[in-house]
Amino acid sequence: MSAVEPTPDNKNKKLVLNLSFMVIFMLGLAYASVPLYQLFCQVTGFGGTPKISDVAADEVLEREITVRFGSAVSGDLPWRFRPNQLTQTAHIGESVLVSYQATNTSDQPIAGTATYNVSPAKAAAYFVKLDCFCFTEQVLQPGQSMTMPVLYYIDPAITEDRRLDEIKTITLSYTFFEIKSTQSAALIHAANPTKRP
């Protein structure tokens, strides 16, 4: 008895099913790539992204590094955003608290979120943030100002990296972007029910 040959319709159905699965898989991978890349950068310091930790350094060294603070706002966000200090010099390993100030200059509530970067990029792996407002949705009412703290330290392991012996200054920069999402609209509406989300 000979094997039954698949019909062209069965072959087409199998091909469509396989292609559909591949498209769904690729969409899922694309959706997960942003948080996975963000996590990778936070753990490794890759691409100028500082590490994030909940543990302070275990030692404070005599060597000092100056940190400069930068700020920017995307073109469509009507906020003023600035660091409350332009520079700060601290010992390597010392936990340091700084802050930024954001003000909504519009006449309506607006949600925003900040991304950050450290330069030079090769120093990012040693810039450790203990607490930060980045990637957290912030809702500011019309005219409202908010102080946003950042707690950080420079990892003492930086002294073991000979490529960074010449580093005397590191720059930490934040950029705020407006968020337009269903969740943001719900937060804005809850804070100010007279405005339409």
Q: What is the DSSP string of 35-86?
A: HHHHHHHHHH-GGGPPEE-SS--S---S-EEEEEEEEEE-TT--EEEEES-S
- What is the model's pLDDT at position 100? 97
Q: Is residue 26 part of a domain?
A: yes
The reply to whether 52 and 38 lie within a common domain is: no
Burial of 155 (0-12, 13-18, 19+ CB in 10 A): buried
| Residue 125 CB neighbours (<10 A) | 21
- What is the model's pLDDT at position 171? 95
Q: CA quadruple 63, 157, 131, 38: dihedral positive or negative?
A: positive
Instruction: Indicate the DSSP class of residue 194.
Output: T
The reply to whether 53 and 40 lie within a common domain is: no
Q: What is the pLDDT of residues 76-95, one digit of tens each?
A: 899 999 999 999 999 999 99
d(CA 160, CA 133): 30
Place of tokens 């340091």: 96
The reply to whether 38 and 80 lie within a common domain is: no
The reply to whether 13 and 86 lie within a common domain is: no
The reply to whether 83 and 134 lie within a common domain is: yes
The reply to whether 105 and 40 lie within a common domain is: no
Average pLDDT over residues 20-35: 63
Average pLDDT over residues 5-12: 73
In contact, 126 and 149? CB cutoff 8 Å: no
Tell me which H or E stretch contains 110: strand 110-119
The reply to whether 14 and 75 lie within a common domain is: no
The reply to whether 19 and 80 lie within a common domain is: no
Domain ranges, residue 17: 7-44
Q: Per-residue confidence at 108, pLDDT binned at 50, 70, 90?
A: very high
The reply to whether 35 and 57 lie within a common domain is: no
Q: Is residue 1 part of a domain?
A: no
The reply to whether 70 and 38 lie within a common domain is: no
The CATH number of the domain holding residue 67 is 2.60.370.10
- How many domains does the chain fold into? 2
The reply to whether 59 and 14 lie within a common domain is: no
Average predicted confidence (pLDDT) for the chain:
81
Q: Is residue 184 part of a domain?
A: yes
pTM of the model: 0.67
